[in-house]
Amino acid sequence: MATKKEEIIEAIANMTVLEVSELIKAMEEKFGVTAAAAVAAGPAAAAGPAEEVEEQTEFTVTLKSADPTKKIAAIKVVRTIVSGLGLKEAKDLVEQGGILKEGASKEEVADIKAKLAEVGGVLEVK
């Protein structure tokens, strides 16, 4: 059985890209599957062992917009999120958008999202 696999692999290695593409389409039709995930993972797997990707632990939370009908509630929420923020600064932040918190943890981001979702806030997290 191993020699058949090796022969098939060798035959595929000698094919042109167009021929391989046609072979994949024929196999998808024959077996009723898609090879999209396998094709996407193929080049990455061929490059060698994957390096570990560090999970992001700090995020920047930016207020993009808030529901105009709930502006006062949004201002109150923004003032609780951003400590030391005056009423005018909070109002400007709600009306124009801007950074609410830098270096926020996942838990803080989830908390901020929940609070601002109640008042119609739209956030961007980077």
Domain assignments of the chain as residue spans, ordered by start: 4-34, 59-125
Q: Residue 82: CB partners within 8 Å, gap ≥ 6?
A: 90, 93, 100, 101
- Residue 67: the pLDDT is 82
What does the pLDDT average to over 57-73? 84
The third-level CATH classification (topology) of the domain covering 59-125 is Ribosomal Protein L30; Chain: A, (3.30.1390)
Q: Where are the alpha helices (DSSP H) in the chain?
A: 2-13, 17-31, 36-46, 71-81, 87-96, 106-118
For residues 52 and 81, what is the distance between their CA atoms, to the nearest angstrom?
33
- Residue 1: the pLDDT is 58
- Residue 51: the pLDDT is 64
For residues 37 and 18, what is the distance between their CA atoms, to the nearest angstrom?
19
What mean pLDDT, rounded, does the chain reach?
A: 79
Distances (CA, A) of 5 to 1, 15, 102: 7, 16, 54
pLDDT in tens, 86-111: 888 888 888 888 888 888 888 888 88
- Residue 50: the pLDDT is 56
Kindly report whether the global pTM for this prediction surpasses the value 0.75. no
